[in-house]
Amino acid sequence: MYKHVMDDAKRCLRCKNPTCSGGCPVQTPIRDAIALLLDSRLPEAGAMLFNNNPLSLVCCHVCPQESQCEGHCVLAKTGSSVHISAIEKYISDYYLNIMRPTSSQKTAGNVAIVGSGPAGITLSFLLSQLNYDITLYDANDLIGGVLRYGIPEFRLHKHILDRLTERLVESGVTIRPNTRIGNNITVDDLFRDGFDAIFLGTGVWKPSRMNIHGESLGNVHYAIDYLRNPDVYRLGKSLLVVGAGNVAMDVARTAMRHGSENVTILSSLGERSVSARLVERQYAQIDGARLMMNRTVVRFTPKGAILAETDLSREDTIAPLPDTEELFPTDSVIIAIGQGPRSTIVSTTTGIDVTDKGLVAVDDCGRTSREGIFASGDVVTGAKTVVEAVKVSKKVAEAMDAYIQTKRGKTYAS
């Protein structure tokens, strides 16, 4: 593997205008990091990547590189691009092992970060480096959010998150697990106890329902719940996955690693409703899953799902064709058609506006409608990529810093 990394690094053309960086949402300095690697300055290369993106080691595993950095490599126009993700993985993995962050002096202010997914972790690192006293709250026993409880181990090794946890603690971040803000502790309690600002990065954990007959039966489950802990499910030998996005592919591949032998992924409108990355779809098919096109679920039964052919002439909706219903026998069904935010915090807090989809409404810098409360990540945008959460959270960190320093300056003046 190391030879592969070095050979690919040597293929880099050191472009004067690196389009690979331009294709990355956080403008990862790929060219410069590769130059440092080839000059045997690996710690400097790692620091460069981490300082630009604290989740560099995560992004190189889960990003859609084919449409971002690697897709914009000039070599991709005539052949194969530099394997940037492998190079970034090598550098970032090395650096996360050796880095020893400077602990926050905790003199700049107090910040509560609610939710330890990609946005929350990014904010924790960035603000601790600015000497803020950070308390990171999460409803689960371990940090990571969707990275730990929504992405399978075969795509993202959980020991990466364990190492990030160690680095956060070394940075001076206080982690409070098993604490769901909005239940026993409210946002108002946090302000009462001296926090200057609060960040919401609670993600989207409420599964989207189909609202059809039989959805409450014991053989029907939701993807986001299943991926959280697949070991506790008994799906049987056959499984139908409803939906054809990246999450559906993760469900199919996970189920086949937990005993399911016949896994079918249902795409209601054929190719145009397959939103999964091509590579994820290919992996699912290699693992043994098959795609069924142009069918939709009419209702669920204890013996499986009643499917009907779809009217492909109607692009605006999924319409079952009459007289085409038939039973698709299967032991279990998992619905993977998306998810939205839980309303625990919003329902217990005054002054936070939401969109018509229930997402937290913010401005370009993550400010919510209530002063002192900021938000970013999936709870604002819906399910997006990790790197998009990092991109926005970097801007939010600047806005929070400016807000708190202005607020403290006014306090001191008075």
pLDDT of residue 53: 97
Per-residue model confidence as pLDDT tens digits over 87-96? 999 999 999 9
pLDDT of residue 369: 95
- Region 207-338: CATH code: 3.50.50.60
Same fold, 109-205+341-413 and 207-338: yes
- C-alpha distances in Å from residue 218, one per residue of 301, 304, 337: 10, 11, 19
Per-residue model confidence as pLDDT tens digits over 263-275? 999 998 878 789 9
Which superfamily does 109-205+341-413 belong to?
A: FAD/NAD(P)-binding domain (3.50.50.60)
d(CA 101, CA 99): 6
Rounded to the nearest 10°, the torsion over CA 127, 129, 134, 139 is 80
Task: Calculate helix-pair angle for 30-38, 84-98, nearest 10 degrees.
Answer: 70
Per-residue model confidence as pLDDT tens digits over 252-261? 999 999 999 9
pLDDT of residue 170: 98
d(CA 253, CA 255): 6
In terms of Cα–Cα distance, which of 216, 229, 313, 297 is closest to 264?
Answer: 297
Domain ranges of the chain: 2-98, 109-205+341-413, 207-338
pLDDT of residue 329: 98
Alpha helices (runs of H) in 199-353, residue ranges in sequence order: 223-228, 246-256, 278-287, 344-347
As a whole number, mean pLDDT of residues 66-70 equals 94
Residue 114, pLDDT above cutoff 70: yes
**Which of 225-229, 303-307, 342-346, 409-413 has the weakest average pLDDT?**
409-413
- Region 2-98: CATH code: 1.10.1060.10
pTM, rounded to two decimals:
0.93
pLDDT of residue 3: 66
With H, G, I as helix, E, B as strand and everything else as coil, classify residue 269: coil
Q: How high does pLDDT run on average in the chain?
A: 93
Alpha helices (runs of H) in 144-298, residue ranges in sequence order: 146-149, 158-170, 187-192, 223-228, 246-256, 278-287
In terms of Cα–Cα distance, which of 80, 93, 63 is closest to 8?
Answer: 80
Residue 2, pLDDT above cutoff 90: no
With H, G, I as helix, E, B as strand and everything else as coil, classify residue 49: helix
In terms of Cα–Cα distance, which of 130, 128, 45 is closest to 89?
Answer: 45
